Structures are given as C-alpha cells and as structure tokens.
Amino acid sequence: MNLFSISTIILTFSGIIFSLIIYHTDRTNKVNRAWFFSCISFSVWALGLAGVTLSSTPDTAFIWQCVLDVGAIFLPFLFSIFVFELLHIQAKVFRIFLLCSAILLSLFSFTPFFKVGMMMRYGFEWVNPGPYYLSFLIYFVCYAVMSLGILIYFYFKTDKKDILRAQIRNILFAGIMGYGGGVTNFFPQFFSVYPFGNYFVIFYIVFIVYGVLRYKALSAKVISAQIFSVAIVLVSLFSLLKSTDLTDWLLNMLILVLVGVFSVFLVNSVNREVKAREKIEKLATDLETANVRLTELDRQKSEFVSFATHQLRAPLTAMKGYASMILEGDMGALSDEAKLGVSRIFDSAKTLTNIVDDYLNITRIELGTMKYVFDVIDFKTLIEDIVGELKPNIEKSGLKFSFTAENGDVDYRITADRDKFKQVIANLIDNSMKYTPSGSVTLSLAFDRPKRKFVFTIKDTGIGIDPEVLPHLFAKWSRAGNANKTNIKGTGLGLFVAKEIITAHNGSIRAESPGEGKGSTFIVEMEPWGKM
Ligand code: ADP
C-alpha cells in the first residue's frame, strides 16, 4: 500500500469521524446537518479513491471510480448548501437547480462520454477521461468560484466583531484547501501531473470543524478533546496500515481499538461536562431574568396597594369621625339600640383603619419610601399617653392592667419619630389585650444601666405563643394558629411593621413565651437620647 492510498483511507475515516463530531454536537442545527451531508459525500469520494488506488484489476477500479465520481460531484453541491445555511441564504429555486445539475452530472458520469475506463498512472489505476470529461472540471471550477466568492463577499460584509466573520474565514481556508487540493486530482488525466493536492484535502475538514465549533460558546474544550482524539485515532490507523507483519498488525489493531474506546469515553465525558455547564449557565440567566421581572412586578404591586389603601383612608376617617360625633350626642339623642349599632360602626371603622395603616406601612417599607421625622421625645410620657387613650378599652376588657416605671432621676428621653413609634407601642399594648381573654397585662419601663438601654416590657397572661411560631413571629403575614380564636380580624402585619420601625430607630424588639396558654412577654429596647 503506497502513501497515496493511505492518505485516501485517512480521508475517508476523517470525513466520517468529523461528520459525526459535528452531528453529535447539535443535530437540530441546519448548518450542522448540511455539514453532515457534505462530509458524507466527502467520505464517499475518499472511499471511492481509496478503492481505486487499492484495486488490483481495472474492472474493480472502474466500479470504485463510479463511487468516487458520484461523491466528487455531490461534494461541491453539498458544500455550497452548507455555505448557504451558514450565511442564511435561502435561494430555494437556485438550490433546486444546483441539485438537478448534480444529479444530471452523476447520471452522465456513468456514460462513456464521461469516462471510457481506467488507465495505469503513478503505480495505480486512474480514470481514462471520455470526450466530455471536461464538463466535470468546468462544473467543479464553477462551484469553487461560486462558493468561495460568496464566502469572500460575506467575509467583507460582516462586522469585524461578529464571530460569524471568524467562522467564514476558517471555512474559506477550508474551501481553498478542499478545492485547491481536489482540483489536482484532475491533473493526471489532463496534464499528466501527480495529484499531490490530495494530501492537503484533510485540512479542508479540519478547518471546517474548527470554524463551525470554535466560536460556539463553551465548546472549545469539547473541540480540543475531539480533535485530540481524532488525531490519535488517525495516528493509530496510520500505524495499522503501515504494519509489516501479522504480529505488528495485531498489536497495532489492539492499540487502535484501545485508543478508539478511550477517545469515545474522553469525548463523551468532556461533552457531558460542557453540556452540564451550559445548562447551569442557561438556568442562571433564566433565573436572573425571572428575578428582575419579579422584582418589577413586586414593585408594581406595592405601588398599587399603596395607591388603593390611600384611597380607602379618607372615607374611613369620615366614617370614624361621624360615628364618634353621633355617639357623643352631637347630632341629637339616640336610643340605646342605635347607640350600639353606631358604636359597632365606629369599632369596625377603627379596625379597618388599623389594617389600612399596616398595608400602607408595608408598601412604604417595600418601596423604600418610609420617611421618619426624628424628634426627642419622652418614652415614659408617650406610654402614659397611650395608656390614657386606651383607657376605655382597658376598662371594657376587664383585665387587670398596670404600668410601672423605674423612679428616681431617670431621664426617659429618646430619639424617635413620635407618630410611628407611638403607633408601634400602641399596637403592642393593643395586641396584649386582644390576645388575653382574662387575667392581667403588666407594662414596665426601666433603664438597664450596664446595657445603657431602656427596656419596655409588656407582659400578659393570655393565650401565649407556641415555641415553633416564636422564631417567625415578626415575619410578614405571620399569625399563630391560636390567634384566630381570640382575634379573627388580625392581618399578621403589625409585628412585621413594628420590627421594621423599631430597627429604623436603632432599637430592638423580641417576644418570649413559655408556650401556648402561658402568656407572652414583648420586650422593646431603645437607646437613650444624649449621655446617661
Ligand atoms: P395580628 O394581631 O393582626 O394578627 P400582629 O403582627 O400584630 O398581627 O401579630 C402577629 C401574631 O403574633 C398574631 O396573629 C398572634 O398570633 C401573635 N401575637 C401577637 N401578640 C401576641 C400576644 N400578646 N400574645 C399572643 N400572641 C400574640
């Protein structure tokens, strides 16, 4: 077997292997599919050529020559389709025309007008051209000019930064190698020159594989692994074909099989790794997009709630105001039944106002539009004021209620937004009464000297808090299972708002409870104003 035959066998195998590489990478891609078929025709051509050079009789060589011719005629056609797909050139009618020309020339290649038989050249059988064999050369050159021309045109048309330009460049090199090398196979029959270009044809494949895959995201690793594998398989194949005796052949065969198996494992594992990475990257970008969208939706929702609750506030204030005026007798005397009805209206309007306020605060917190107007206020006086305002409710509840503050020379001033801080403390006291059906509510205010903090404690003997609920108590919408029994109107927003506001005051809030039915204690700690 001479070097030329070996080169043709290597071309056959490389055509098959490389076509499979690209097809395996992504077979849904039209460019890859076009390349696959182009490679198949390449392999058919190379196989035909191998058959011709290895044939011992002119008759078998002629049969292989027929295979070679069909492969060689379809090859330029399929290469041009590959170029069309890569550059998104539709040209449907033109494609059909090209296909028809390839089919017609293939049929013509079986006639004696195309080839009359085989003749000996450079130690192997070579085609003996018929009177119209020149048509093949013209066909070949026309395709070369068209495909390479289109590639050159698009190369200059494409933006320098576009990866397509780099792909086109590689495919252009491939085309020049393929057509340049392939055309020398016409030399023996026309000019009696050795078809030396055949050795370069391998670069056609290598350049295209590189061109198609190189600039695809993340596949550099796979390509390197694949090219490396193909290279060692080809080297082993080469050694096998050059074997001098049976032992040598068997040994080389064994090496080839081992190398082949190893290559498949290597390529597959690298491929899997890259695919997994691609998947993760895709998921990450998807997640990022979804996150941006969700954040925007959340913002829109908060804005809507803020708007809607604002609209609710004004009518509620009117309802509360008029109900209170009626109750106080400003609009004339009322029967006891009417008084009961109006006081229910008043209570409901008040509950609704609290709920609306909670929603408003939440949306302000979420939108980051919560504004604080800090002032120096007296913590003790603030609590006394709240207790004074809640007096009717305390009396109605029948609970034992007390408030004690550490006496002495304590200065109870703190820095706070009076309205917001008052709302939080009032809400905590209100909660302790709501969730205490009977028993007592004890408030105490003291100054913890070592900690340099005011400690305000609200201790009740009410329904208590399940230890499992405690860690989540200050989260949004958090309501314990036992809360509904005593207060069905709750929203689970008050404590969340309280924590946000107190944190904004550099203070802290926490809850303690020995368990359900065993009462609860809420502790608020605040920094004093100035030095103490
Ligand atoms: P709401 O009272 O509207 O449900 P809050 O945020 O004020 O919302 O309170 C959240 C939950 O914390 C309540 O539903 C209740 O389960 C629990 N909770 C609050 N204060 C007390 C308390 N003093 N005793 C027992 N449970 C309480």
The beta strands (E) that lie in 44-186 are given as 115-121, 124-129
- Ligand 1: nearest atom to the Cα of 355: 3
Residue nearest to atom 13 of ligand 1 (CA): 479
pLDDT at 326 exceeding the cut of 60:
yes
- Ligand 1 geometric centre to CA of 284 (Å): 39
2 with 124: CB under 8 angstroms?
yes
pLDDT at 218 exceeding the cut of 50:
no
- Taking the C-alpha atoms of residue 225 and residue 240, their distance in angstroms, rounded to an integer, is 22
Is the C-beta atom of 483 inside 6 A of ligand 1?
yes
pTM here is: 0.50
403 with 384: CB under 8 angstroms?
yes
In this prediction, residue 278 carries a pLDDT of: 82
Q: Whole-number mean pLDDT of the chain?
A: 86
pLDDT, tens digit, 9 for 90 and up, residues 97-154: 999 999 999 999 999 999 888 887 777 778 888 889 889 989 999 999 999 999 999 9
What token pair was written down for 70? Answer: 């069909």
138 with 183: CB under 8 angstroms?
no
- Taking the C-alpha atoms of residue 64 and residue 45, their distance in angstroms, rounded to an integer, is 9
Residue nearest to atom 20 of ligand 1 (CA): 431
pLDDT at 532 exceeding the cut of 60:
no
Residue (of 226, 211, 228, 240) closest to 32 by Cα position? 211
- Ligand 1 geometric centre to CA of 431 (Å): 6
pLDDT, tens digit, 9 for 90 and up, residues 155-202: 999 888 777 888 888 888 888 888 888 788 777 777 777 767 666 777
Residue 215: pLDDT band with limits 50, 70, 90: low
In this prediction, residue 342 carries a pLDDT of: 93
Is the C-beta atom of 493 inside 6 A of ligand 1?
yes
pLDDT, tens digit, 9 for 90 and up, residues 468-497: 999 999 988 777 777 777 666 677 888 999
In this prediction, residue 487 carries a pLDDT of: 67
In this prediction, residue 260 carries a pLDDT of: 86
- Taking the C-alpha atoms of residue 106 and residue 72, their distance in angstroms, rounded to an integer, is 9
In this prediction, residue 264 carries a pLDDT of: 84
Name the more confident of 56 and 532: 56
- Taking the C-alpha atoms of residue 264 and residue 478, their distance in angstroms, rounded to an integer, is 57
In this prediction, residue 498 carries a pLDDT of: 94
Task: Report in angstroms the alpha-carbon separations of 484 from 172, 347, 358, 434, 491.
Answer: 77, 18, 18, 11, 10
pLDDT at 355 exceeding the cut of 60:
yes
226 with 21: CB under 8 angstroms?
yes
Residue 441: pLDDT band with limits 50, 70, 90: very high
Name the more confident of 330 and 381: 381
Residue 385: pLDDT band with limits 50, 70, 90: very high
pLDDT at 222 exceeding the cut of 80:
no
- Ligand 1 geometric centre to CA of 427 (Å): 10
* Percent of all residues in the chain with a pLDDT value above 90, rounded to a whole number: 39
Residue 213: pLDDT band with limits 50, 70, 90: low
Q: How many CA atoms lie within 13 A of 365 on its CB side?
A: 19
In this prediction, residue 50 carries a pLDDT of: 87
> What pairing do the DSSP bridges indicate for beta strands 400-405 and 440-448?
parallel
Is the C-beta atom of 431 inside 6 A of ligand 1?
yes
Residue 463 DSSP label: S
In this prediction, residue 5 carries a pLDDT of: 77
Residue range 406-427: mean pLDDT, rounded:
90
Is the C-beta atom of 478 inside 6 A of ligand 1?
yes
In this prediction, residue 177 carries a pLDDT of: 84
Residue 307: pLDDT band with limits 50, 70, 90: confident
In this prediction, residue 11 carries a pLDDT of: 80
